[in-house]
Amino acid sequence: MLGIYYVVLLTVVAAAIVAYAQYVFKKSVPKFRFSLSGVLSLAKNKMVIAGVLIYMFGLVFYLFALGSGQLSFVYPAFSSTFIFVILISHFMLNERIGKVRLAGILMIMLGIALVSSLLVF
C-alpha cells in the first residue's frame, strides 16, 4: 500500500476533476427538458461528451486511490468534491457563497479531517 499522503493526493485530484466535469455538464445543458428527443440530443452534445470524458479521467484517479487506500478513508475524502463544486460555481458561474454554504464547506472539511484522523491513528 502506498503512503497516506499519496492516497489523499489521488483522492483530492479525482474530486477536483469530477467537480470540473459537473461544471462542464452544467454549461452544456442550461435548459434541459426531459424527453426522448432531449435525451437523444445529449448523446450528440459535444460538451456532454467532453464532460463524460473528464469525469472518466477523474474516475481513473479515484480508482487508483481506492486501490491504494482503504475504502473507509477514500470515499469520505472524496466528499471534497462538494467543496470544489461550490468554489467552481462561485468563480466560474458567479454563484454566491453565502454564510450557510461557507459553514457547510467548513463542516465538510471538519468531517473529512475527523474521518481521516480516526483512520490514520
70-90 confidence digits (pLDDT tens): 888 898 889 999 999 999 999
For residues 5-38, one letter each, b for 16 or more C-beta atoms within 10 angstroms of the residue's C-beta and e for the rest, the string is eebbebbbbbbbbbbbbbbbbbebbeeeeeeeee
Q: What contacts 85, CB < 8 A, 6 or more positions away?
A: 19, 22, 23
pLDDT in tens, 24-75: 999 988 676 777 877 788 888 899 999 999 999 999 999 999 998 888 889 8
Does pLDDT of 1 surpass 60? no
Q: Do 89 and 22 contact (CB within 8 A), yes or no? A: no
Specify the pLDDT at position 36: 82
What gap in Å lies between CA 16 and CA 24, rounded to an integer?
A: 13
End-to-end CA distance of the chain: 16
**pTM to 2 decimal places:** 0.85
Where in the chain are the domains?
4-120
Specify the pLDDT at position 100: 93
Q: Do 84 and 15 contact (CB within 8 A), yes or no? A: yes
The three-class DSSP label of residue 32 is coil
What gap in Å lies between CA 77 and CA 57, rounded to an integer?
A: 18
Across all residues in the chain, what is the average pLDDT? 88
